[in-house]
Amino acid sequence: MLAYVFSHRAGPGADVAAYEEGLRAFHESLAVARPRGFVRSLTYRMAGGYSDWYLLEDSAALDALNAAAVSGGRAGPHDAVARVAADGVGKLLSLAAGEVELDAMVETRFSKPPGVGYADLYAALGRLTAEPGAALWRRMMVLGPPPEFTLVTRSAVELPSEMRPEAVSRTQL
């Protein structure tokens, strides 16, 4: 499972209520005419902006999503939001452990400490990723801004300070 995550905010002077309604309309239009490999998408409101999560079966689905997002019945809703969006940046994440639960409302972003191998990191986080609704996502091929990991959970978690964790609450639109 992959997640293409697009972070953005409403630009200066934008009507936030209309912006959010436009986001809802876009995701609804995507769900109606599902591109190949597309699982689901939604937007979260977060401090400072929004985060769109597009769940995909595999990396080949990126091409289909990219084409579908700006064509057919999705073009109008996409363009309406894109005209007033600002500071957009995307990243590609791979599910490393746990289960996808879109109702989980805390993202803890963190970095792998220097000298720690991936297998050791995953083992150390095993207690957390075994919790219901917890998912550990790893940035793929340095596609997107750091940090490398995002742990999505139902409630806040404590991670060691050497991981430089940053917890962010999110609310589903």
The pLDDT of residue 77 is 87
What is the mean pLDDT of each successive set of 10 residues along the chain, which is 173 residues long?
A: 97 96 95 93 95 96 93 89 94 96 93 96 96 96 92 96 97 95
Contact yes or no for 29/36 (Cβ under 8 A):
no
Distance (Å, rounded) from C-alpha 57 to C-alpha 164?
30
Query: Who's near 145: CB < 8 A, 6+ residues apart?
Result: 89, 91
Residue 52 CA, distance from chain mean position: 6
The pLDDT of residue 103 is 87
The pLDDT of residue 74 is 86
The pLDDT of residue 72 is 87
The pLDDT of residue 88 is 94
Q: Of the candidates 27, 154, 14, which has an alpha carbon nearest to the alpha carbon of residue 86?
A: 14
- Please give the DSSP secondary-structure letter assigned to residue 142: T
Q: How are beta strands 149-153 and 166-172 bridged, if at all?
A: unpaired
Alpha-carbon dihedral angle through residues 104, 105, 106, 109, given to the nearest 10 degrees:
80
Q: Phi/psi at 24 (nearest 5 deg)?
A: -60, -45
3-state secondary structure of 21: helix
The pLDDT of residue 161 is 96
